[in-house]
Amino acid sequence: MDNFATIPFFIAVVETGSFSGAAKKLSVTKSAVSKRISQFEADLGIRLLNRTTRKLSLTEAGLKYYEYVRAATLLAKEGEDAISNMQDKAQGILRLTAPMVFGRLHISPLLPIFLKNNPQIELHLSMDDKVVDLVENSFDMGIRIGQLSDSSLIARPLAPCSSVLCASPAYLQKFGTPETLEDLAQHNCLFYSYYRGGATWTFDGPSGPERFLPRGNYQVNNSEVLYEALLAGMGVCQMPKFIVGPALADGRLVALLPEYKLPLHHIFAVYPQRRFMPEKMRLLLEFLIQCFNEGSDYRVRYEN
């Protein structure tokens, strides 16, 4: 039975790539993880992990064993979901991941309302601009913006996400206002490092699709920091309207090249395919869909 208790340690080591990562994920010491795995290998009579000073890797036996125990844990999770569906009330821990700025501006303000209506649910929100693997990181649901690359996830659209090319009046007064796409080559273009469209900006221009490779002296992996740079007059940038909408409305930022439209993306709630959806997940999904439903008060505030 001790070996069965060690399986979560083994899975955590594989998925985090280190003993220290597994220790952090499981809230135990690194030495406890190492001791568990070493004893596990001794009991099985075979090495599961190759250890070097720099990294860990699975042996052939370790890879085969991981495939089986990972499938077993997913099956056990389905069992938990099935039992959860038999309960009258949603309860337990619900893990949600969302992009940093969108999560702060448009997801976190909604969650106190959700928890007030569902007090038996314990919600863990993680905000990160990197796209994380929901299954590997044990998230029940994620909020994604733009093109979805993981076809194994079920996606429910929440709202459109439109973007705009903009700059501050102070910047434009000093460096001039671009009139054509070619004019952008003479401007300092700020860039979001995690932009999923790649390094090139794509526009739907008067003559059809056009691409532009931005050049500038500032790249940031956080769109809120880019927003501050725009307000400070550092350059030109394409930004989602859910961030810059208020500044465009009050004149702190100016929309540029209106005849060049940026691609319209969508915001999705995504979750792993499951035979049974736990009641707590169903309630959160329906709550978010209702909040972002076209015509709802929140949707009006979000779009403006």
The pLDDT-based confidence of 85 (bands split at 50, 70, 90) is low
Structural domain boundaries of the chain? Answer: 2-84, 87-152+267-303, 163-255
pLDDT tens, position by position, 230-240: 999 999 999 99
* Nearby residues of 112 by Cβ (< 8 Å), 6 or more positions away: none
Which CATH topology does 87-152+267-303 take? D-Maltodextrin-Binding Protein; domain 2 (3.40.190)
Q: Above pLDDT 70, what percent of the chain?
A: 91
- Give the mean pLDDT of 125-135: 86
pLDDT score recorded for residue 169 = 97
3-class SS string, 66-97: HHHHHHHHHHHHHHHHHHHHCCCCCCEEEEEE
CATH of span 2-84: 1.10.10.10
With cut-offs at 50, 70 and 90, classify the pLDDT of residue 226. very high
Name the most confidently modeled range: 125-129, 148-152, 189-193, 236-240: 236-240
Report the pLDDT averaged over residues 202-230: 91
Checking if the pLDDT of 3 tops 80, the result is: no
Mean pLDDT of 252-271: 93
Q: Is pLDDT above 90 for 229? A: yes
What is the chain's mean pLDDT, rounded? 86
Under 8 Å CB-to-CB from 89, ≥6 apart: which residues?
A: 120, 279
The token pair at 286 is 């329906």
Across the range 260-273, mean pLDDT stands at 90
pLDDT band at 163 (very low <50, low <70, confident <90, very high): very high
pLDDT band at residue 81 under the 50/70/90 scheme? low
Q: How confident is the model at residue 52, as a pLDDT?
A: 75
Same CATH topology for 2-84 and 87-152+267-303: the answer is no
d(CA 107, CA 114): 11
For residue 67, CA distances in Å to 7, 71, 246 come to: 12, 6, 50
CATH says 163-255 is which class?
Answer: alpha beta
Average pLDDT (208-221) is 90
Q: How far is CA 208 from CA 87, 150, 162, 183, 213, in A?
A: 54, 29, 18, 18, 17
Tell me what pLDDT residue 88 has.
Answer: 54
Question: What is the pLDDT at residue 102?
Answer: 93
Residue 258 has a pLDDT of 92
1 pLDDT tier (thresholds 50, 70, 90): very low
Token digits for 55?
Answer: 């990294």
Report pLDDT for 128: 87
Specify which of 50-59, 70-79, 112-121, 134-143 reaches the highest per-range mean pLDDT: 112-121
Per-residue pLDDT averaged across 211-232, rounded? 92
Whether pTM exceeds 0.95: no
